């Protein structure tokens, strides 16, 4: 059981910055998700924690040990790789047992521990197969079992679900959440899928180009995105962002006019979530011809052009209109998020 | 199993490829078949102008050495049955009687046991049984195919060809061991290194590979001849003259072969995902343990394929071995050349042919034993976790 401290760690290759001055304390037993688009440094950060990559600067502490100069094997971590990293020449049982064998755990306990780990991921029927004879989801579970067979102080998971099909991803996600709850081990999980981050995390770290954008609970980053990048990355669909100008508390942009905002004058980006706004009868704040209409089953998604961007609103599932019809959305001020257009940073508390 | 439509070939294409295959078999396999036939005949038959005489060997038969129909049928039956046993029952029995961990020992015992049983059956029991059968079988017992093993006897026993065989064994074992040890370590290191130096090392290796072999021999020759003087400061009076010794040949052949093995093994290692190394490292292996416990087992097909190529180089080499070895250390290939170079009678030539046929036998055996690994090694790239 351990807390992880990352003290201003950086990773540079020549002049290229992979991770820039990452500073974070991950609490004991916390489930932390590193989220960001590819190339944002999330995997590099995890590999530095695992010891597969050296930190150019800064210190990494696991528990009360500084681990910068320790080999991966001495850091007491277990890792699940994106393409699983299973050993193809030995069967599932031996794969799961491998960490125990290498670390010379008491041989008498091996069988019991392997069976327990296999049970937890429901693999007991496949123990004598080779990895090549397993499906993707089963391989994924072998990798999980191999990680949990030895109680490490930290779990590291590098996009473990990205090679699975959509349906399997949902069920394995649930399994991972349940496992981490049961095992009570500090977990760092890397993903580019914001839904995984929202569903699994105690806290999410959103990264972009090696720089941390926001650290917070899933609710925090969903409801109070720190900047336009986070706002546009989190949520499905992402937050609507309209460009315009505020004058005397009124936001104006193409096809949009919202008054009653408490902000100083200047160029801003105004954001709101599709599910927070409603369709109004011609007297809403956004008025524009319909760009497209999508039937989702549980709702109807309406999209118009406003403030220089495509803006979507969720309407009732029986709402129908033709493309080109004028529609009106009501966007109350209490659902609006304001961002500085130049820097992208959040303005005020709204 | 039917061929998918996309892969089905037109009649013309099939006839063409079958024809080409047949032509290629004729070109490549016929000489081997023919010298095998020749090596069992008396010299007059072997060099007869009528091909049928070469095959049936009337003069060999007249000399008292021949096979009757019963001999041929029974002999082929025993051969076929032994082959079937070796391919089918033997692995089954090994699997049944060995504990995990002693599989290698089990195989050694099985192979040695099988070889002894086969030799006793084929060379001791069968001739006795057959001579009895031939005597009572009437016309079926009359020899129709001339066949004599006298040339093999004179090659292996009188001319002491087994000495050359042992020398070949020493040289090839040395070459394969050194090449593979250095090659796997270097190949792994180079495959996993991203540095510029690794790239230039590989280019350098390629240049050395391109050098004519005679350049290396010429470069080494003075050193080997004077090696006792050069090594005296280290070994004192016991310093050896390397010229004429198998070690010298091993050194030169390794120098010739090493660039190739490094390149080949590097590409095999390259196909193994680095994730395997990393998983092993996180699971508790040191660098070397990860190599030994995870990477090497996955690499076996590659190592065996590369090892086979190294073996062939050492086994078939003529230039280096003929230039650097003295008479009593000579390997098989230059020894065979020696047969032809002598004042030759036709008997000498047939003996040379018998020796040539003898040296192909180990190759067949080797390829047959390792065929699965060689195929998966040659078609590698499919090492998926």
pLDDT value, residue A349? 54
For A85, which of B279, B285, B383 is closest by C-beta distance?
Answer: B279
DSSP B157-215: IIS-HHHHHHHHHHHHHHHHHHHHHHHHHHHHHHHH--SHHHHHHHHHHHHHHHS-HHH
**Residue among B273, B276, B282 whose CB faces A72 most closely:** B282
Please tell me whether residues B150 and B38 are part of one structural domain: yes
Asked if the structure places residue B96 within a domain, the reply is yes
- Calculate mean pLDDT across residues A109-125: 90
Which whole number is the average pLDDT over B121-147? 81
Q: Same domain for B146 and B166?
A: no
DSSP string, A152-195: -SEEEEESTTTTS-HHHHHHHHHHHHHHHHHHT-EEEEEES-HH
The answer on B186 and B98 residing in a single domain is no
| Mean pLDDT (whole number) for A159-175 | 87
Residues of chain B contacting A139 with CB distance shorter than 8 Å = 385
Smallest CA–CA distance, residue A71 to chain B, in Å, is: 8
Identify from B283, B286, B373 which residue to disrupt to test chain A contact, counting A C-beta atoms within 10 A and taking the largest count. Answer: B283
- Whether the pLDDT of residue B208 is over 90: the answer is no
Residue B384 binned pLDDT confidence (cut-offs 50, 70, 90): very low
* Closest by Cβ to A79, choosing from B276, B282, B298: B282
| Interface contact A146-B283, CB threshold 8 A | yes
Per-residue pLDDT tens over the stretch B68-106: 888 888 889 988 998 888 888 888 888 787 777 777 788
Kindly determine whether residue B293 and residue A102, on different chains, have CB atoms separated by under 8 Å: yes
* CATH superfamily, region A4-228: P-loop containing nucleotide triphosphate hydrolases (3.40.50.300)
Residues of chain A with C-beta less than 8 angstroms from the C-beta of B288: none
Domain identity same for B239 and B350: yes
pLDDT > 80? residue B139: no
Contact A72 B294 (CB under 8 A): no
d(CA B325, CA B220): 13
Residue B384: inside a domain, yes or no? no
CB nearest to B385's CB, from A52, A99, A131: A131
Residues B110, B237 within the same domain: no
For residue B43, give the nearest of B148, B144, B161 by alpha carbon: B148
Bridge-based pairing of strands A31-35 and A203-208 is parallel
Q: What average pLDDT score do residues A152-172 get?
A: 88
Choose from A88, A134, A140, A154 for mutation: most chain B CBs within 10 A: A88
The answer to whether residues B166 and B55 belong to one domain is no
Q: What is the pLDDT of residue B385?
A: 36
Residues of chain B with Cβ-Cβ distance to A84 below 8 Å are 275, 385
In this structure, the answer to whether residues B108 and B189 fall within a common structural domain is no
Where b means 16+ CB within 10 Å and e means fewer, A8-43 reads ebbbeeeeebbbbebebebeebbbbbbbbeeebbbb
- Alpha-carbon Rg for chain A, nearest whole angstrom, is 24
| Whole-prediction pTM | 0.80
Number of domains in chain B: 2
Q: Domain containing B137: what range?
A: 31-154
In a domain, B238, yes or no: yes
Q: Which of B184-193, B237-246, B330-339 has the lowest mean pLDDT?
A: B237-246
- Length, in residues, of chain B: 385
Q: What mean pLDDT value characterizes chain A?
A: 89
Residue A224 burial (C-beta neighbours within 10 Å; 0-12, 13-18, 19+): middle
**B279/A81 touch (CB, cutoff 8 Å), yes or no:** yes
pLDDT at B108 over 90: no
Q: Is the pLDDT of residue A247 over 90?
A: no
What is d(CA A41, CA A207) in angstroms, rounded to the nearest whole number? 7
- So what's the pLDDT on residue B378? 65
Cα distances from B168 to residues A46, A123, B13, B71, B248, in angstroms, run 54, 52, 44, 34, 13
Q: Which CATH superfamily is domain A238-340 in?
A: Nucleic acid-binding proteins (2.40.50.140)
Whether A60 and A5 have beta carbons less than 8 Å apart is answered as yes
Residue B164 falls in which region: left (phi positive, over 0), alpha (psi -120 to 50) or beta: alpha
Does the pLDDT of residue B19 top 90, yes or no?
yes
Give the nearest chain B residue to A140 (CA atoms): B385
Short-list A27, A28, A29, A26, CA closest to A9: A26
Q: Place B380 in a pLDDT band, splitting at 50, 70 and 90.
A: low
Whole-angstrom distance, CA of residue B165 vs CA of residue B161: 6
The reply to whether B217 and B113 lie within a common domain is no
Sort out which chain B residues have CB atoms less than 8 A from A102's CB and list them: 280, 283-285, 289, 293
Ranges of each domain in chain A: 4-228, 238-340
**Residue B311 counted as domain residue:** yes
Nearest Cα of chain B lies from the Cα of A340 at a distance, in angstroms, of 42
User: For residue B169, what is the domain's CATH number?
Assistant: 1.10.3720.10
Mark which of B154, B174, B209 sits at the end of a domain. Answer: B154
Task: Say yes or no for a CB contact (<8 Å) between B279 and A79.
Answer: yes
Output the pLDDT for position A350: 44
Cis-peptide, bond into residue A243, ω within 30° of zero: no
The answer to whether residue B232 sits within a structural domain is yes
Of A51, A71, A84, the CB nearest to B286: A71
Q: How far apart are CA A174 and CA A169, in angstroms?
A: 9
Q: Which of A102, A107, A138, A163 to mutate to test the interface with B (most CBs of B within 10 A)?
A: A102
pLDDT above 70 coverage of chain B, percent: 96
The proportion of chain B whose per-residue pLDDT surpasses 90, expressed as a percent, equals 21
Q: Which residues of A touch B298 (CB under 8 A)?
A: 87-89
CA atoms within 13 A on the CB side of B314: 34
Chain B residue closest in CA terms to A50: B282
Min Cα distance B306 → chain A (Å) is 20
Q: Residue B183 — pLDDT band, cuts 50, 70, 90?
A: very high
CA angle B252, B254, B258 (to 5 degrees): 130
Per-residue pLDDT at A113: 93
Mean pLDDT to the nearest integer, B6-28: 89
Condensed to tens digits (0 to 9), the pLDDT of residues A214-229 reads: 999 999 999 999 999 9
Over residues B243-285, the pLDDT tens digits come to 888 888 999 999 999 999 999 999 889 888 899 999 999 999 9
Question: For the residues B232-251, what does the mean pLDDT come to?
Answer: 83
Three-state DSSP class for residue A93 = helix
- The owner of tokens 């794969």 is A95
Specify if B20 maps to a domain.
Answer: no
CB B262 within 8 A of CB B337: no
Q: What is the DSSP letter of A64?
A: T
User: Quick one: DSSP state of residue A68?
Assistant: T
pLDDT greater than 70 at residue A232: yes
Residues B107 and B187 in one domain: no
Q: Compute CA B118 distance to the chain's CA centroid, rounded to the nearest angstrom.
A: 21
| Mean pLDDT across A231-252 | 89
Q: What pLDDT sits at residue B381?
A: 44
- What pLDDT is recorded for position B382? 42
What's the average model confidence in pLDDT over A272-286? 86
- Are the C-beta atoms of residues A215 and A34 closer than 8 Å to each other? no
**Which residues of chain A make contact with B281, given a CB cutoff of 8 A?**
51-52, 71-73
Residues B335 and B358 both lie in one domain: yes
**B1 occurs within a structural domain:** no
Residues B290 and B255 in one domain: yes
Residue B351 gets the label, from left (phi > 0), alpha (psi -120 to 50) or beta, of alpha
Angstrom distance (rounded) from CA A6 to CA A21:
9
pLDDT recorded at residue B172: 94
Residue B17 belongs to some domain of the structure:
no
Q: What is the mean pLDDT of chain B?
A: 85
Are B202 and B276 within one domain? yes
The CA-CA-CA angle for residues A308, A314, A315, to 5°, reads 120
């Amino acid at each position: 059981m351990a807390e992880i401290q990352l003290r201003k760690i950086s990773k540079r290759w020549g002049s290229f910055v992979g991770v820039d001055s990452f500073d974070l304390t991950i609490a004991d037993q916390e489930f932390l998700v590193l989220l960001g688009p590819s190339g944002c440094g999330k995997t590099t950060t995890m590999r530095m924690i695992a010891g597969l990559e050296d930190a150019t600067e800064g210190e990494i502490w696991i528990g009360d040990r500084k681990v910068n100069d320790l080999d991966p094997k001495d850091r007491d971590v277990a890792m699940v790789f994106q393409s699983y990293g299973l050993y193809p020449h030995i069967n599932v049982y031996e794969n799961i047992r491998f960490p125990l064998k290498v670390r010379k755990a008491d041989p008498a306990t091996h069988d019991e521990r392997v069976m327990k780990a296999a049970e937890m991921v429901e693999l007991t029927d496949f123990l004598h197969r080779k990895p090549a004879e397993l499906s993707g989801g089963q391989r994924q579970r072998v990798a999980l079992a191999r990680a949990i067979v030895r109680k490490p102080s930290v779990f590291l998971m590098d996009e473990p679900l990205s090679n699975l099909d959509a349906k399997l991803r949902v069920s394995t996600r649930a399994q991972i959440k349940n496992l981490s709850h049961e095992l009570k081990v500090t977990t760092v999980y890397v993903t580019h899928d914001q839904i995984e981050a929202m569903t699994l995390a105690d806290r999410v770290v959103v990264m972009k180009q090696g720089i941390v954008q926001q650290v917070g609970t899933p609710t925090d980053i969903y409801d109070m995105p720190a900047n336009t990048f986070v706002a546009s990355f989190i949520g499905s669909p992402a937050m609507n962002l309209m460009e315009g100008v505020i004058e005397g508390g009124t936001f104006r942009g193409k096809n949009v006019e919202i008054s009653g905002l408490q902000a100083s004058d200047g160029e801003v980006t105004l954001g709101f979530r599709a599910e927070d706004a409603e369709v109004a009868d011609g007297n809403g704040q956004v008025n524009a011809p319909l760009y497209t209409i999508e039937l989702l089953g549980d709702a109807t998604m309406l999209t118009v052009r406003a403030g220089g961007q495509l803006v979507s609103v969720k309407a009732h599932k029986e709402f129908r209109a033709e493309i080109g019809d004028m529609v009106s959305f009501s966007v109350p001020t209490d659902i609006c998020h304001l961002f500085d257009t130049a820097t992208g940073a959040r303005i005020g508390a709204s | 199993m039917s061929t998918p439509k996309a892969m089905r070939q037109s009649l013309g294409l099939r006839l063409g490829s079958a024809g080409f295959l047949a032509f290629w078999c004729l070109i490549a396999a016929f000489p081997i078949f023919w010298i095998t036939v020749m090596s069992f005949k008396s010299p007059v038959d072997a060099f007869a102008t009528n091909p049928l005489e070469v095959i049936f060997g009337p003069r060999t038969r007249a000399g008292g050495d021949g096979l009757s129909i019963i001999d041929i049928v029974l002999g082929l039956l025993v051969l076929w049955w032994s082959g079937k046993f070796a391919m089918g029952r033997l692995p089954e029995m090994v699997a049944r009687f060995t504990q995990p961990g002693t599989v290698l020992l089990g195989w050694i015992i099985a192979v040695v046991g099988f070889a002894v049983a086969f030799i006793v059956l084929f060379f001791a029991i069968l001739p006795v049984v057959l001579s009895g059968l031939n005597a009572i079988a009437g016309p079926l017992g009359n020899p129709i195919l001339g066949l004599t093993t006298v040339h093999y006897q004179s090659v292996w026993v009188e001319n002491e060809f087994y000495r050359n065989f042992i020398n070949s064994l020493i040289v090839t074992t040395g070459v394969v061991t050194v090449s593979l040890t250095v090659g796997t370590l270097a190949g792994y290191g180079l495959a996993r290194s991203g540095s510029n130096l690794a790239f230039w090392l590989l280019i350098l290796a390629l240049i050395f590979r391109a050098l004519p072999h005679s350049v290396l021999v010429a470069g080494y020759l003075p050193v080997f001849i004077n090696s006792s003087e050069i090594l005296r400061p280290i070994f004192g009076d016991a310093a050896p003259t390397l010229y004429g010794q198998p070690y010298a040949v091993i050194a030169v052949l390794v120098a010739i072969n090493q660039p190739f093995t490094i390149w080949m093994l590097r590409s095999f290692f390259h196909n193994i995902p680095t994730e395997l190394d990393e998983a092993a490292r996180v699971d508790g292996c040191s660098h070397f343990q990860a190599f030994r416990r995870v990477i090497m087992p996955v690499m076996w097909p590659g190592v065996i394929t590369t090892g086979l190529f190294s073996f062939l180089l050492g086994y078939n080499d003529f230039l280096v071995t003929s230039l650097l070895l003295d008479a009593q250390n000579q390997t098989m290939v230059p020894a065979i050349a020696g047969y032809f170079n002598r004042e030759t009678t036709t008997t000498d030539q047939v003996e040379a042919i018998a020796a040539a046929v003898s040296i192909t036998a180990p190759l067949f055996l080797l390829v047959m034993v390792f065929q699965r690994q060689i195929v998966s090694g040659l078609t590698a790239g499919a090492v998926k976790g």
